[in-house]
């Protein structure tokens, strides 16, 4: 049975989609047509759309007399989508269309909210009028382009209509997270030092390597280590969220409703997967990354990540993340770091694609374990010393390598990262 045997208008609508593919990562992966479905006395014709050769969505077309919210139609499309392991389904009656996530088996599709409900098109002709008039076909093409654009966005970002965060909101949200995390993590650090002698010895050695005065009895030392641990974790989260938009195989950081005891294990699994892709200087685990996060801290992390999941970091003004980590009350003198971002954004999707054509930079010092930026190499870049090492402020002792610098450079276009190195 061909896609034009049942209803000429449906066949024409689907041919419009077929004509637009392939488009970027999207491509046709199959077609189907039935004269009727269970509980639905109407033909259904459709296509399967893949992204990077993996089924992404099922698009099903029915005549205009069938509502796109008809439960029988939605269940039929969900059945098709599950069989293809497609994450999304589109119901389209040429006048109306909805885009939904494919729910798990047992969850009625009609009880789920559409990700998108498209504006009604009133100029679709009656069944006898075929082929479709040029203006109607043009309108259907516009609708098909909308649907494909949304599917491409879902494949890239994992959701529609990501909000470009207001700089003030972003700074305030990260600031709030730091304020909540700091006392809980500091208490956990004190426990580790008090009851785990070997950890304390390793921490002293690690701090000395980073140029941080090591005194386990000093409250200033505990504050500095706590801040650095938070700095590194938030940097990893931000870097990961941006990286995942170009490497869709990375697991989603979805922590809504997750028990707090599972938050850090899930984050570590995700960071380990990112480490397999690249960016060793960012995601490699160091000693302070192993400080346990108490329940209250883990809950705040989950809440923060949920907020960040709906934001598009690429739209942020320059050096917004740096503003958070420069606040003396939050990170103190030792960790008051300055990174000149100068408005360069979108680094991950661009650099991940272009990296093979560039020369790898000098390696950072891996034995210290932290992602580092070296001054010598920065002078080889067009920006010279101004793009170079992150500097410690207020005349404090400056470590040879600044701890956890790389995550803040996530928005730089001229950043070049390769496994085990940072530029």
162 within some domain? no
Residue 98 CA to residue 92 CA, distance in Å, equals 7
144 domain residue, yes or no: yes
- 24, part of any domain: yes
Task: Give pLDDT, residue 421.
Answer: 33
Domain end: 136, 157, 178, which one? 157
- Mean per-residue pLDDT of the chain: 75
Provide the percentage of residues in the chain whose pLDDT is more than 90. 41
Q: Please tell me the predicted confidence (pLDDT) of residue 29.
A: 96
| Block residue for tokens 């410690």 | 392
Residue 400's contacts (CB-CB under 8 Å, 6 or more residues apart) are 211, 365
> Facing residues of 27 across strands?
50
Tell me how far apart the alpha carbons of residues 75 and 404 are, in angstroms, rounded to a whole number: 49
One domain for residues 32 and 117: yes
CB of 43 within 8 A of CB of 10? yes
pTM comes to 0.54
**Chain position carrying tokens 């697991």:** 251
Confidence of residue 54 (pLDDT cuts 50, 70, 90): very high
Phi-psi region of 111 (alpha: psi -120 to 50; beta: other; left: phi over 0): alpha
Same domain, 309 and 192: yes
How many Å apart are CA 18 and CA 12, to the nearest integer? 10
Pick from 3, 81, 93: nearest CA to 40: 93
186 or 235, which is more confident? 186
The SS3 of residue 45 is strand
pLDDT band at 322 (very low <50, low <70, confident <90, very high): low
* Statement to judge: residues 14 and 91 lie in one domain: yes
Domain-located, residue 81: yes
Reply yes or no on whether the pLDDT at 225 is more than 60: yes
What is the 3 state secondary structure string of 131-183?
CCCHHHHHHHHHHHHHHHHHHHHHHHHCCCCCECCCHHHHHHHHHHHHHHHHH
Domain end position, chosen among 157, 187, 208:
157
Tens digits of residue pLDDT in 175-193: 899 999 999 999 999 999 9
Question: Which residues, at least 6 apart from 222, have a Cβ–Cβ distance to it below 8 Å?
Answer: 186, 189, 190, 193
Report the CATH number that the domain containing residue 47 is assigned in CATH: 3.90.1570
Band of pLDDT at residue 321, cut at 50, 70 and 90? low
- Per the domain annotation, does 1 fall within a domain? no
Token pair recorded at residue 264: 């850090």
Whether 312 shows a pLDDT value over 80: the answer reads no
- Reply yes or no on whether the pLDDT at 361 is more than 60: no
For residues 128-136, give the mean pLDDT: 75
Assess whether 306 and 324 both reside in one domain: yes
The pLDDT of 357-361, averaged and rounded, is 36
Q: What is the residue range of 56's domain?
A: 8-157
Reported as a single tens digit per residue, the pLDDT across 390-408 is 333 333 333 333 333 333 3
Residues 182, 132 share a domain: no
Say if residue 190 is in the same domain as residue 149. Answer: no
**208 assigned to some structural domain:** yes
Q: Based on the fold, state whether residues 92 and 204 are members of the same structural domain.
A: no
The pLDDT value given to residue 78: 97
- Asked if 260 and 236 count as a contact pair (C-beta separation under 8 A), the reply is no
Which pLDDT value is given to residue 319? 58
Which of 236, 204, 205, 235 has its CA nearest to residue 222? Answer: 204
Examine the pLDDT at 419 and tell me if it is beyond 80: no
**Nearest to 181, CA basis, from 243, 142, 138, 232:** 232
Please indicate, yes or no, whether residues 288 and 394 belong to a single structural domain of this protein.
yes
Q: How many domains does the chain have?
A: 2
Query: Beta strands of 93-140 (E only): which ranges?
Result: 97-101, 116-117
Residue 188 and residue 293 in contact, taking contact as beta carbons nearer than 8 Å:
yes
Cα–Cα distance for residue pair 300/131, rounded to 1 Å: 58
| pLDDT for res 373 | 29
Could you tell me if residue 3 is inside a domain? no
Considering only residues 414 and 126, tell me which one the structure prediction assigns the higher pLDDT: 126
71-89 tens-digit pLDDT: 999 999 999 999 999 999 9
Give pLDDT, residue 241: 82
Residue 311: which H helix or E strand, with range? none
Over residues 139-171, the pLDDT tens digits come to 899 999 999 999 998 988 788 876 666 677 778
> Predicted confidence band at 172 (pLDDT cuts at 50, 70, 90)?
confident
Question: Higher-confidence residue: 38 or 329?
Answer: 38
Q: Are residues 135 and 12 part of one domain? A: yes
What does the pLDDT read at residue 370?
35
The more confident residue out of 340 and 101 is: 101
**H-run or E-run covering 91:** strand 88-92
Quick one: average pLDDT of 8-28? 91
Q: Which of 111, 114, 118, 75 is nearest to 96 (CA)?
A: 118
**pLDDT at residue 37 above 90?**
no
For the ranges 1-10, 123-132, 160-169, 346-355, the maximum mean pLDDT occurs at 160-169
Q: Which two tokens stand for residue 288?
A: 């302070």
CA–CA distance, 43 with 311 (Å, rounded to integer): 40
pLDDT of residue 280: 75
**DSSP3 helix / strand / coil % (the chain, rounded to 5):** 50, 10, 40
- 130 and 212 in a single domain? The answer is no
β-sheet bridge partners, residue 97:
92
State the pLDDT confidence band at 323, using cuts at 50, 70 and 90: low
Domain end, chosen from 157, 192, 207, is at 157
Closest CA to 309 of 177, 157, 155, 411: 157
- 270 touches 298 (CB < 8 A): no
User: What confidence tier does 367 reach under pLDDT thresholds 50, 70, 90?
Assistant: very low
Residue 372 and residue 405 in contact, taking contact as beta carbons nearer than 8 Å: yes
The average pLDDT across 309-330 equals 58
C-alpha to C-alpha distance for 161 and 166, rounded to whole angstroms: 15
pLDDT at 230: 92
Does 402 lie in the same domain as 338?
A: yes
Whether 2 maps to a domain, the answer reads: no
Q: Domain check: are 367 and 265 in the same one?
A: yes
Residue 163: the pLDDT is: 62
């Amino acid at each position: 049975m061909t896609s034009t045997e049942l209803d000429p208008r449906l066949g024409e609508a689907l041919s419009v989609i077929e004509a637009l593919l392939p488009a970027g990562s999207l491509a046709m992966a199959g077609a189907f047509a039935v004269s009727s479905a269970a509980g639905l006395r109407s033909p259904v014709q459709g296509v399967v759309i893949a992204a990077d050769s993996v089924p992404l969505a099922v698009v099903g077309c029915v005549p205009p007399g069938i509502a796109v919210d008809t439960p029988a139609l939605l269940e039929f499309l969900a059945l098709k989508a599950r069989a293809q392991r497609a994450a999304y389904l589109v119901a389209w009656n040429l006048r109306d269309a909805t885009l939904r996530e494919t729910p798990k088996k047992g969850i009625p599709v009609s009880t789920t909210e559409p990700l998108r409900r498209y504006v009604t098109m009133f100029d679709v002709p009656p069944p006898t009028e075929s082929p479709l008039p040029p203006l109607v076909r043009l309108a259907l093409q516009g609708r098909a382009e909308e649907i494909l654009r949304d599917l491409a966005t879902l494949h890239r970002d994992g959701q529609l209509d990501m909000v470009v965060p207001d700089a003030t909101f972003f700074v305030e949200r990260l600031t709030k997270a730091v304020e909540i995390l700091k006392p809980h993590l500091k208490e956990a650090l004190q426990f580790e030092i008090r009851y785990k002698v070997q950890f304390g010895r390793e921490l002293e050695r690690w701090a000395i390597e980073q140029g941080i005065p090591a005194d386990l009895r000093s409250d200033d030392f505990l504050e500095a280590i706590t801040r650095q641990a938070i700095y590194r974790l938030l940097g990893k989260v931000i870097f990961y969220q941006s990286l995942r938009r170009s490497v869709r195989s990375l697991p989603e950081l979805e922590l809504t409703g997750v028990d707090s005891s599972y938050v850090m294990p899930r984050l570590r699994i995700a960071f380990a997967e990112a480490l397999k892709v690249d960016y060793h200087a960012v995601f490699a685990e160091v000693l302070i990354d192993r400080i346990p996060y108490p329940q209250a801290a883990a809950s705040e992390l989950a809440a923060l990540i949920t907020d960040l999941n709906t934001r598009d970091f690429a739209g942020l003004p320059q050096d917004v993340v740096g503003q958070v980590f420069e606040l003396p009350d939050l990170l103190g003198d030792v960790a008051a770091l300055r990174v000149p971002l100068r408005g360069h954004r979108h680094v991950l999707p661009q650099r991940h694609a272009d990296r093979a054509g560039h020369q790898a930079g000098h390696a950072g010092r891996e034995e210290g374990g932290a992602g580092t930026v070296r001054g010598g190499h920065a002078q080889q870049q067009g920006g010279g010393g101004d793009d170079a090492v992150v500097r410690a402020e207020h005349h404090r002792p400056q470590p040879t390598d600044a701890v956890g610098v790389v995550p803040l450079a996530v928005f730089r276009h001229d950043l070049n990262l390769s496994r085990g190195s940072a530029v």
